[in-house]
Amino acid sequence: MPIFIPLMCLLGMGVARFRGYARVVPADPAVRDDVPVRLLRWAAGLLSAQRAGWGQAMLGELGHIDGRGRRWRFAAGCAGAALLLAPSGRAAAAVWAMTVAAAGAAGVYAATIVRYRLGAGDWVFAAVVLVLLAGYTLVASVLLRQPGVALPGLLGGLFIALTWLAPAGYTFYDVIASVTPLWAVLVQVIAVPVLVGVAGTLRGGSAAAGRRIARLAAISAGLYIFLYGTIAVAVLGAGGPPGDPNWTVSAIVDDRLGNNAAFYLWFLPLTTAAIGWAAAAATARVHPRLATTVSSTAASLPLMAAGLAAEGSLSPMTPPQQAERPVHVRNWRRTARLALTCAAVAAILILTAAGWLISGR
Amino acid sequence: MQRNRPLSAQAISVLRALAADPARWRYGYDVATEVHLKSGSLYPILVRLADRGLLETSWEPGRGSRPPRHLYRLTLAGREYVAALPAARASGVGRTVPRPHNRWSEA
């Protein structure tokens, strides 16, 4: 059951993001708006403000390519390039730091499998862990392209990680089998992500910035604690808190590695990101100054597909004519739906946490 | 002092394709087709070349329902780079070819 909660949260975030995206990018029946265009428009929207012109260049080129296969190949290639374009400056340093943390965690994980001679199934699971680590690093690098996200996001992640490790007293011994009281679970799973989402939105000045900060904080927290937990398993092995006496050393280590991955690479990042994301959106809705702020995502979206009647060129990287930026307006029905969704997610999490505690006693 | 990484063979091939008719503005897709590059490789190369000041870009106005299109051609520095290329590659001094401005770090 707990495994499915992040999945549901992720699905909800995806649906909400798609709906929001559809609102800010008006469809023009005169312009071809097939799946390759949508894919490329989405990927181009992830580029930094300095690189937004290149996203528009890709979209413009796609508008002149005919043939389904050629359009798909061109859009897929450009989308990949847009995703992998590295950020610069402080953000690049942050990406490198996260890459090193992810690579370090993968290395320690693999070394532990080798040391305790775990089975082939563990290597398959290690491959899944590697995919997750690579995916989180990629998402972090995309988030870090936007200005004002790196520092609050990474600090938020550190704050979340410290909160999750606090009940264990920051020791290897207790991080493997810490017993967390219900109030602490609620703080970790709900209060802290909400705090990060609200603070991120207020600092970033928009819901989009707050959501990015919340997601970066969730991902970085997951990476930090996964690295810490994996080192703890590597150091202690089958030692530490006593487990089932019938289990072999390999089984105990295997179980601990699996628990680390499930909690810190799956449950923590996705749940924390979902709640922080919802808190950021809710903050922007209720805050009078932020309620009408233009989303920076919307501002950076390539709008060429919206039907640009071009006359003359403004600059090498600016298309001839920009469509007017859409402005988010207060929509009380959306706000109510968002509040209900947040309440439902919170209720599910509380019930799940209570269920764990009850079943554990 | 910032150092530029040497250009890849693919980037060199893009430069050579553009140098065939340096005054002519080219479309990205045409260049990609000519040098047999996929779009996922072409655009990072174009970004890098533009950041190094070897490439200049412009927009062609859209026609009808077609959107505006990006155009590319070599700058003077780009032409000089290509002109110096065979000798530079043969002697291994490609890294010392003067480059106008390093903006790759802004990527």
Q: For residue B27, what are the β-bridge partners?
A: B71
**ipTM, 2 dp:** 0.78
The reported pLDDT for the residue numbered A304 is 40
Q: What is the pLDDT of residue A33?
A: 77
Do residue A60 and residue B56 have CB atoms under 8 angstroms apart? no
CB contact under 8 A, B43 and A32: no
Residues of B in contact with A73 (CB under 8 A): 38-39
Residue A338 has pLDDT above 70, yes or no: no
Q: What is the pLDDT of residue A48?
A: 83
Q: Once rounded to an integer, what is the mean pLDDT over residues A184-203?
A: 90
Q: Cβ B62–A310 below 8 Å, yes or no?
A: yes
The predicted structure's pLDDT at residue A324: 42
pLDDT(A299) > 70: no
Residue A57 to residue B57, Cβ atoms within 8 A: yes
Mean pLDDT of B79-84: 91
Q: How much is the mean pLDDT over chain A?
A: 78
Classify the C-alpha dihedral B88-B17-A37-A207 as positive or negative.
positive
pLDDT tops 80 at residue A303? no
Q: Which residue has the higher pLDDT, A179 or B49?
A: B49
**Residue of A32, A61, A80 lying closest to B29 (CB–CB):** A61
Instruction: Over range A195-208, report the average pLDDT.
Output: 89
Of A182-196, B1-15, B50-64, least confident by mean pLDDT is B1-15
**Of A58, A311, A316, Cβ closest to residue B61:** A311
Note the residue count of chain A. 361
With bands split at pLDDT 50, 70 and 90, how would you rate the model's confidence at A194? very high
pLDDT at B82: 92
Q: What pLDDT is recorded for position A328?
A: 45
- Residues of chain A neighbouring B40 (CB-CB closer than 8 A): 76-78, 80-81
Task: Give the pLDDT band of residue A305 (cuts 50, 70, 90).
Answer: very low
pLDDT, average across residues A12-30:
53
Picking from B43, B65, B66, the nearest residue to A54 by CB comes out as B43
Which residue from B56, B65, B69 is facing A61, i.e. has the nearest CB?
Answer: B69
From chain A residues 70-109, the ones with a CB under 8 A of any chain B CB are 73-78, 80-82, 84-89, 92
CB contact under 8 A, B39 and A309: no
- Counting other chains too, the contacts that A131-136 makes at CB distance below 8 Å and 24 or more residues apart are A132/A261, A132/A265, A132/A266, A133/A102, A133/A103, A133/A105, A133/A106, A133/A223, A133/A226, A133/A265, A134/A102, A136/A98, A136/A102, A136/A219, A136/A222, A136/A223, A136/A265, A136/A269
Per the prediction, chain B carries an average pLDDT of 80
Test the A interface: residue of B26, B38, B42, B43 with most A CBs within 10 Å? B43
Out of B41, B66, B68, whose CB is closest to A320? Answer: B68
Alpha-carbon span A275 to A9, nearest angstrom: 8
Q: Do A58 and B39 touch (CB under 8 A)?
A: yes
The average pLDDT across A339-356 equals 66
Shortest distance between the Cα of B106 and any Cα of chain A, in A, equals 5
Asked whether the CA dihedral A271, A276, A281, A282 is positive or negative, the reply is: positive
Q: For residue A325, what are its two tokens?
A: 């930026």
- Token pair, residue A139, equals 């998402």
Question: Which residues in chain A (250-309) have CB-CB distances under 8 A to chain B?
Answer: 304-305, 307-309
Q: Give the residue, B104 or A78, on which the prediction is more confident.
A: A78
Tens digit of each residue's pLDDT (9 = 90 or more) over A204-249: 888 888 999 999 999 999 999 999 999 999 988 777 777 677 788 8
Rounded CA-CA distance A88/B102 in Å is: 13
Q: What is the pLDDT of residue A128?
A: 92
Structure token digits, residue A159: 């704050």
Residue A187 has pLDDT above 60, yes or no: yes
Q: In the prediction, which pLDDT does A311 show?
A: 35
Interface test with B, best of A47, A62, A64 (most B CBs within 10 A): A64
- A153-180 pLDDT per residue, tens: 999 999 999 998 888 778 887 777 767 7
Contact B44 A77 (CB under 8 A): no
**Shortest alpha-carbon distance between residue A80 and chain B (Å):** 6
In sign, the C-alpha dihedral spanning A118, A121, A127, A131 is negative
Please give the pLDDT value at position A97. 87
pLDDT at A347: 67
pLDDT value, residue A359 = 59
Find out whether A216 and A224 touch, Cβ atoms under 8 Å: no
CB-defined contacts A:B, below 8 A? 110
Measured CA to CA, the distance from residue B19 to residue B10 in angstroms comes to: 14
pLDDT in tens, A64-83: 998 889 999 999 999 999 98
B29/A310 CB distance under 8 A:
no
Give per-residue pLDDT as tens, A71-115: 999 999 999 999 888 777 777 888 888 899 999 999 999 999 998
A301 pLDDT above the threshold of 60: no
- Tens digit of pLDDT for each residue in B32-45? 999 999 999 999 99
Q: Which residues in A lie closer than 8 A to residue B102 (C-beta atoms)?
A: none
* Closest residue, chain B, to A314 (C-alpha): B59
Return the pLDDT at B96: 39
Residues A250-268 have pLDDT tens digits of: 888 888 888 888 889 988 9
